[in-house]
Amino acid sequence: MVGVLRYLISVLDKRELQLPSGEMDESEEIKVLRKEMKNKEEARVMFLKAERVDLVSEQDYEIEVLKKYLPVGISEEEVEKIVDEVILEKGRNFGAIMGETMKRLGGKVGGDEVARIVKEKLT
């Protein structure tokens, strides 16, 4: 677990140095953690295909550690409600809807899930 946490601290520090302000808020930290989670899940799939059980279990462990530091997401119904509100305010512009919705959610839900819901609402 210590190794995973050291790695996460390193990733967060690196991202913080890339920011113009040099400081990261909580939503930016969550975004970094979600990206790392996605990377671990993708690596897990590749290791499964390569039948590398040892590396799959390592990725599973790291994913579990990451989950402990991510906030519990909100329900799909709540996301849909926010998307509906944003559509009323911003019109049917996908980019504007995504930007405002992600801002309101503050990193509690991944962009892929929000994009799926927005696309469903716009069709």
Pair (85, 61) in one structural domain: no
30 and 55: one domain? yes
pLDDT at 93 over 80: yes
Boundary residue ending a domain (51, 69, 87): 69
- What's the pLDDT band for 23 if we cut at 50, 70, 90? confident
Q: What is the pLDDT of residues 26-81, one digit of tens each?
A: 878 888 888 898 999 999 999 999 999 999 999 999 999 988 888 777 888 999 99
Q: Are 95 and 34 in contact (CB under 8 A)?
A: no
| pLDDT, tens digit (0-9, with 9 covering 90-100), for 96-112 | 999 999 988 877 788 88
Count of domains in the chain? Answer: 2
Are residues 11 and 37 located together in one domain of the fold?
yes
**Which residue range forms the structural domain that includes residue 44?**
2-69
Place of tokens 């609402």: 121
Q: What's at 95, amino acid-wise?
A: G
What distance in Å separates the CA atoms of residue 51 and residue 82, rounded to the nearest whole number?
A: 42
Same domain? For 43 and 98 the reply is: no
One domain, residues 57 and 100: no
80 and 58 in a common domain: no
